[in-house]
Amino acid sequence: MENYIDQLTGKNSEYVHIITRELVKIGKTDEEIKAILSEILPQIVAAQEQRVLAKDLLGTPSEFTAKYTPQTQVSKNTKADQYDNETPVLMWLDSALLMLGFITILNAVMATFNKGARAYGIVTLVTMSFAAGFVIYLMYRLVYKPQNEGKKRPGFKSYAILTLAFLAWIVLYSLSALLPASLNPSPNSYVVGVIGLIALGIRYLLKRKYHIRSAMATSPKRN
């Protein structure tokens, strides 16, 4: 088996490392893991000679290890795994509504107990939340998802896109804060709090209906 491991490319070596770690997590013994690796390593080495990656041959690490997951553990994971809809717009909306709920409720609490606290305008709150939701989705798409699937670590391009998105978030927030009160009214703290609760309620309903995967999820999706 060691001979095959020495022949692995960098990407395939990382793939084998990830599935080994996942097999340990689901309770496989050293002997069971060795048996599994002894079976797949020759296949991976043969495939890489044809320039076929292990993940294309065997599936993502989560897909591969799911075949060896005990049925009882699969049953426990079923409820969490229902939320696997990765439609970009829905994931963005999910994150945006979560941020809108969090920011508005926090703003309402601060305004209630501290009369000197700054009250954000409704346009600023919405803009800030949806921009933040977009940045969160990009982090999932460019960083968390590739890592969970055993792909190459995010490079300069991914971090450059995230940096630009973060700067755009700041710019949008700053511009919205400059709007006159007639265009960007600041509701009282109770109204702001209600807006936050409504946002969280809508998020909950959408998540139940469309099974939206959270962009903050860092664990790999199981199949």
Q: What is the DSSP string of 122-156?
A: HHHHHHHHHHHHHHHHHHIIIIIHHHHTT-PPP-H
Evaluate the CA torsion angle 131, 201, 223, 73 in order and state its sign: positive
Half-sphere exposure of 81 (CA within 13 A, CB side): 13
Is 162 within a domain? yes
- Domain membership of residue 158 as a residue range: 88-210
For residues 60 and 97, state if they share a domain: no
Work out how many domains the chain is built from and give that number.
2
194 and 142 in a common domain: yes
Q: Does residue 81 surpass a pLDDT of 60?
A: no
Are 67 and 169 part of one and the same domain? Answer: no
Is residue 220 over pLDDT 90?
A: no
Assigned domain for 93 exists: yes
Spatial contact of 139 and 169, defined as CB atoms under 8 Å apart: no
Q: Determine the Cα–Cα distance for residues 99 and 97; give it in Å rounded to an integer.
A: 5
Q: Which of 67-81, 123-137, 176-190 has the lowest mean pLDDT?
A: 67-81
Q: Please tell me whether residues 56 and 36 are part of one structural domain.
A: yes
Neighbours of 188 (CB within 10 A): 11
The Cα–Cα gap between 129 and 131 comes to 5
Please give the pLDDT value at position 51.
87
- Residue, of 66 and 202, whose pLDDT is higher: 202
pLDDT band at 74 (very low <50, low <70, confident <90, very high): very low
203 domain residue, yes or no: yes
Same domain, 144 and 202: yes
Question: Are residue 176 and residue 101 in the same domain, yes or no?
Answer: yes
The answer to whether 18 touches 150, Cβ cutoff 8 Å, is: yes
Nearest Cα to 122, choosing from 196, 185, 172?
A: 185
Is pLDDT above 50 for 25? yes
Q: For 171-217, how does the pLDDT look when each residue is reduced to its tens digit (9 = 90+)?
A: 999 999 899 999 999 888 889 999 999 999 999 999 988 889 888 87
Q: Which of 192, 191, 189, 197 is nearest to 116 (CA)?
A: 189
Is pLDDT at 219 greater than 70 in this prediction? Answer: no
pTM over 0.75: no
Q: Using one digit for the tens of pLDDT, what is the confidence trace for 110-128?
A: 888 887 777 789 999 999 9
Last residue of a domain, one of 49, 76, 103: 76
Same domain? For 58 and 118 the reply is no
- Residue 3 is predicted with a pLDDT of 77
Residue 125 forms part of a structural domain: yes
Q: Which of 81, 85, 80 is nearest to 210 (CA)?
A: 85
Same domain membership, residue 117 and residue 66: no
| CA 123/CA 128 separation, integer angstroms | 8
The amino acid at residue 209 is K
Domain final residue pick, 44, 76, 108: 76
Task: Say what the pLDDT of residue 2 is.
Answer: 67
Of the candidates 76, 111, 131, which is a domain's last residue?
Answer: 76
With the CA atoms of 81, 61, 219 and 78 taken in that order, what torsion angle do they form, in degrees rounded to the nearest 10? 20
Q: What is the pLDDT, as a whole number, of residue 221?
A: 47
Do 114 and 182 fall into the same domain? yes
